[in-house]
């Protein structure tokens, strides 16, 4: 089969976080697919067809990209951040698993990108300097009790926790519930970071405590990092404190 599909991570927003490999994959494509606002971040090049689609159209978008690649095109399917983190690479794998046998013969490449939790962490210091985990608070594809169980386990195990998809118009209460849950296990003073639209013109980053964390400060472009009991602030002169998690942990 002559076509190919690259699932390309664009990073969280800043063009300097687009890797040379991702840029080359975009340049080589003759058809680009993606959620409209993400596709808008890919440079416009002559001769390329662009196929924007709506949010939450992941499966049809992946199928359309696979069909186009199977017909012989060089396709780039773009994803915000890293395509393997709560994003299009898994959707493509799902569709290949359940789709026509011919899709298993396609040349598929996953091109990694900077995921949001790394960009947010870098803005404040090194909160992910020791063991951490990432959880999506979206209960669209998993039941809320599963999320509660994972939050409990992560907090009790001492992981720093990065919360993706914390809130949306359709999911207004989940972040409140998650923070209440984490307050059962973690000190009130646990550093908590809200990074919104990091790397974009409207970026905001706020450092607070778990007790004071206010879900009203988050939207669907926000990533929340809740520290572990070891995460701390280093005050500095003339600069914001550094938020970090030491590399060592006590027993
Ligand atoms: C569907 S997930 C996609 C994650 C993406 N694949 C990644 O690796 O960052 C969308 C969530 O990622 C986070 N996110 C994406 N871009 C962000 C940014 N620039 N700043 C802060 N959080 C971001 C938010 O939590 C948002 O709700």
Say how far apart CA 186 and CA 157 lie, in whole Å: 11
CATH label, 116-244, candidates 3.40.50.720, 3.30.950.10, 3.40.50.920, 3.30.70.2610: 3.30.950.10
Residues 6+ apart with CB under 8 A from 101: none
pLDDT at 250: 82
Asked if the model's pLDDT at residue 40 lies above 90, the reply is yes
The architecture in CATH of the region 4-111 reads: 3-Layer(aba) Sandwich (3.40)
Domain spans of the chain, in order of start: 4-111, 116-244
User: Which residues are near ligand 1 (CB < 6 Å)?
Assistant: 12-13, 79-82, 85-87, 115-116, 120, 164-166, 195-200, 220-223
Say how far apart CA 101 and CA 95 lie, in whole Å: 11
Task: Compute the distance from residue 71 Cα to the ligand 1 centre, in Å.
Answer: 31
The bridge status of strand 242-244 relative to strand 125-126 is parallel
To test the ligand 1 pocket, which listed residue (17, 38, 77, 81) has its Cβ within 8 A of the most ligand atoms? 81
pLDDT, tens digit, 9 for 90 and up, residues 155-189: 999 999 999 999 999 999 999 999 999 999 999 99
Task: Compute the distance from residue 136 Cα to the ligand 1 centre, in Å.
Answer: 10
pLDDT, tens digit, 9 for 90 and up, residues 85-131: 999 999 999 999 999 999 999 999 999 999 999 999 999 999 999 99
pLDDT at 38: 95
Q: Using pLDDT thresholds of 50, 70 and 90, give the confidence band for residue 62.
A: very high
Asked if the model's pLDDT at residue 1 lies above 80, the reply is no
pLDDT at 2: 77
Say how far apart CA 251 and CA 135 lie, in whole Å: 25
Atom of ligand 1 nearest to the CA of 168: 27
Coil, helix or strand at residue 34? strand
CA 52 to chain centre: 20
Task: Compute the distance from residue 242 Cα to the ligand 1 centre, in Å.
Answer: 22
């Amino acid at each position: 089969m002559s076509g190919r599909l690259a699932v390309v991570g664009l990073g969280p927003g800043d063009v300097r976080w687009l890797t040379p490999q991702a840029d080359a994959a975009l340049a080589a494509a003759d058809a680009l697919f993606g959620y409209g606002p993400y596709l808008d971040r890919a440079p416009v090049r002559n001769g390329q067809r662009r196929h924007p689609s709506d949010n939450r159209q992941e499966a049809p978008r992946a199928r359309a990209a696979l069909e186009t690649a199977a017909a012989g095109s060089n396709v780039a399917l773009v994803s915000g951040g890293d395509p393997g983190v709560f994003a299009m690479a898994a959707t493509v794998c799902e569709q290949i698993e359940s789709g026509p046998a011919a899709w298993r013969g396609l040349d598929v490449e996953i091109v990694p990108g900077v995921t949001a939790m790394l960009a947010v962490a870098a803005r404040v210091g090194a909160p992910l300097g020791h063991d951490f985990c990432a959880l999506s608070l979206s209960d669209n594809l998993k039941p809320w009790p599963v999320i509660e169980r994972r939050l409990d386990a992560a907090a009790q195990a001492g992981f720093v926790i990065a919360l993706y998809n914390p809130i949306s118009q359709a999911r207004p209460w989940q972040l409140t519930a998650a923070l209440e849950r984490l307050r059962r296990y973690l000190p009130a003073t646990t550093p908590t970071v809200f990074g919104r639209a990091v790397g974009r013109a409207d970026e905001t980053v706020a450092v607070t405590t778990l007790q004071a964390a206010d879900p009203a400060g988050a939207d669907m472009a926000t990533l929340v990092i809740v520290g572990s009991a070891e995460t701390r602030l280093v005050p500095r002169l003339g600069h914001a404190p550094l938020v970090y998690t030491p590399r060592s942990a006590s027993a």
